[in-house]
Amino acid sequence: MKYIIKQKLVALKPTYEILDGSGNPLYKVKGSFLGREKFEITDLDGQTLAKCETDVNFLSIIGSFLSYNFKKYHILVDDQKIVSMARSLNIFSYKFTIDSPIGEVKLGYGMTGSHQFTMQDKIICDIDKRKLTLGGDEYHIEIDDAHDQKAFLLTTIALDRIYYTKR
């Protein structure tokens, strides 16, 4: 299924809106984005559907002084961990360690420069960041219907926090 995630730049804390491929609102993402980040995906009525939590450890504290995000992001759906991901110690490249009970999930790049999560050489999530959009960052995501949609929507936001937020 195809989704669009839009980040609103004019807000007290980062806020995301998730739309379907046609541009109709589906979900919102709200939460705390400072220190130990916690955020959750909610339906339009405010009911929590999935959440993401981070670990604060010695490496993440040191990284914050160096403007690098080394936090480990845990994506949970129904209080069950689906994916955990963190940037590796190499500060010269963006390599990730990914743990998942659903199988061996890998993060790579597509032919157009998009981020792709794969499992057993099959693309399960393709994330394309759009450049030069008005109002904030915009991501176009395509998720394989056989996998949890909400988990990979939150994974997209975690990638945004790791790549572009650096704290």
- Buried/exposed 17-52: b ≥16 CB within 10 Å, e otherwise: bbbeeeeeebbbbbbebeeebebbbbeeeeeeebbb
Structure-token match 């992001």, residue found:
73
Q: Which domains does the chain have, with CATH numbers?
A: 2-164 (2.40.160)
* Tens digits of residue pLDDT in 61-98: 555 555 556 678 899 999 899 998 887 766 566 677 88
The CB density around residue 116, as the number of other CB atoms within 10 Å, is 18
Return the minimum-mean-pLDDT range out of 34-38, 79-83, 139-143. Answer: 34-38
* Residue 114: strand, helix, or coil: coil
Residue-wise pLDDT for 49-64, tens only, equals 999 988 766 655 555 5
Is the pTM above the cut of 0.85? no
Burial class, 74, CB count within 10 angstroms (exposed 0-12 / middle 13-18 / buried 19+): buried
Strands, E assignment, the chain: 2-8, 15-20, 25-32, 38-43, 48-55, 72-77, 80-87, 96-99, 105-109, 115-119, 122-130, 138-143
